[in-house]
Amino acid sequence: MTVMKTTLLTGGLLTFLAGCGLTGRETETVPNRQWLAGDSHIHSYFSPGYDTSTTPPTPIVGGPNGDADYNIVKNAEMAVKYGLNWMVITDHGGPNHSKLNLERAYPELQQARTQFPGLMSFVGMELNMPAMDHHTLMIPRSDKESQTLFDIESRWDAREAFPADASRNTEEKALQTVNYIKNIEGTKPILMANHPARSATALGTYGSDTPHELRNNNDAAPNIYVGFEGAPGHQAAALNRDGSLKVGAGSRGGYGNAPTYGGFDQMTARLGGLWDSMLAEGRRFWIVATSDSHSHYTDGGADFWPGEYQKTYVKADKSYDDVLDGLRSGRTFVTSGDLVSELDVTAAAGTSSASTGGSLKLGGAKDVTVTIRLRDPAGKNFHNDAPEVKRIDLIVGQVTGKVASAQYDSDTNPTTTVERRLSAADWKREGEIVTVTYTLKNVSKNMYLRVRGTNTDQQEPAADPKGENPWADLWFYSNPIFIEL
């Protein structure tokens, strides 16, 4: 039985929450939440090819020149098979793709909802973000969801116009896009940057997505522009159709120039790197992990099915509103290879506590007790392996406040450190449940903490070589908790 506790909200508080885009079920009740697995970046054959002999070009759904192979119902079927509770279909395209999404993709999504009612299937798309790489746009569930998507894509997608319109592809347009979404009535959509360093040419040498663009967009709408892919999809690029490895070929994530690290984007994986520099400003900026599923490796593609290899877990009740709120609020962790299936991190001082995505407020310098509780599943994953967690890292960094706009391309936080590397000697195990407690002594500065773990012996995630077996190099990451004096 689900127990719901009703909370009373004043008119002023409701007005404030509406301004933050948090109206809806989450403002009316405190749900009985659980970890729900999902994937926020999945393609269908509505990421089409185009017949350029017509004016404007005609989208070709399901053709050999398309960008993805499967229909939406098939994606839903496989999402359920691989243990997902929610998914977002994120097709992208070119001229007039908004009409294709509205008239053909949306009815097929409705069909998937009918056939798989236990799977929450969100309306969304992979927006061709002006002046940047692709972004997941996730739309709240409502009777206006398809029209909301159409309005955003038709107005702001950088490739929507024909003939191509260079004025739609500027940093100014990106900010206008974010502001347009911020001003939509009711519960707001969210935006997350996908594979943000895929176009980087070296560590710290970025391509389509730059630190200042991420910061500017987050400044414009911190409750809309809420994060990026910590771990990109396309993790099966090194696998042949039979599952064997392509010797010396196939880059995880399709990161052909600057590699991933343990399957994670350099913006996340680099200790004290870009993500940590944004957290040092106190930004509530979160990470997700996705499949970016276009074509399965057994069909000659570079992908796993949704949920087969990577999952984003959201602490939420089984409702569209609360899953979206969890992603917006950072109540999430990510994992590869089903290394863990639950990850609860709590920071406490006296009678006050906070969990992942939250803030612990201290009245002065105090000891803070950090409790990490995870589920290390006893069964086998979808590669027929039974990976075990070898180490958990507790990572901390100071929160020093917003940097000046002239420093918006900064990408380091020198205060970030691994506070403690924890192994089996440090934790208590009861069946699948691992629990460990650590005390941060005399916390006297604003800070954040986050957790990661692995089945490897690597002290820091190593750069991924071409041809690496993704199933042998598994990691999980939590989103942060902030501690405020």
Tell me the pLDDT tens digit for each residue of 153-185. 999 999 999 999 999 999 999 999 999 999 999
Nearest CA to 119 out of 144, 167, 86, 161 is that of 86
Alpha-carbon distance 475 to 280, whole Å? 23
Q: Are 435 and 203 in contact (CB under 8 A)?
A: no
The mean pLDDT of 444-456, rounded to a whole number, is 98
Mind listing the pLDDT tens digit for each residue in 331-355? Answer: 999 999 999 999 999 999 999 999 9
Report the pLDDT averaged over residues 211-230: 98
In the numeric block, the tokens 């070709």 are attached to 60
DSSP string, 271-337: TTSHHHHHHTTT---EEEE---BSSBGGGTSSBPPTTTSEEEEEEE-SSHHHHHHHHHHT-EEEEET
Tokens found for residue 249: 């070929």
Q: Is the whole-model pTM more than 0.85? A: yes
Flag whether pLDDT at 360 surpasses 70: yes
Residue 467 has pLDDT above 60, yes or no: yes
pLDDT of 15 > 80? The answer is: no
Residue whose C-alpha is closest to residue 399's, from 363, 441, 351, 449: 449
Do 192 and 39 touch, CB atoms closer than 8 A?
A: no
Which residue, among 220, 60, 251, 226, has the nearest Cα to 136 in the 3D structure?
226
Q: What is the pLDDT of residues 412-437, one digit of tens each?
A: 999 999 999 999 999 999 999 999 99
Query: What rounded mean pLDDT belongs to the chain?
Result: 94
Q: What is the pLDDT of residue 30?
A: 56
Kindly give the interhelix angle for 72-81 and 106-115, rounded to the nearest 10 degrees. Answer: 30
Q: CA-based angle 81:325:280, to the nearest 5?
A: 110
Compute the distance between CA of residue 381 and CA of residue 100 in angstroms, rounded to an integer: 37
The domain ranges of the chain are 1-30, 33-484
Host H or E run for residue 225: strand 225-231
Q: What would the CATH number be for the domain defined by 33-484? A: 3.20.20.140
* Residue type at position 206: Y
197 pLDDT more than 90? yes
CA pair distance 417, 394, nearest whole angstrom = 9
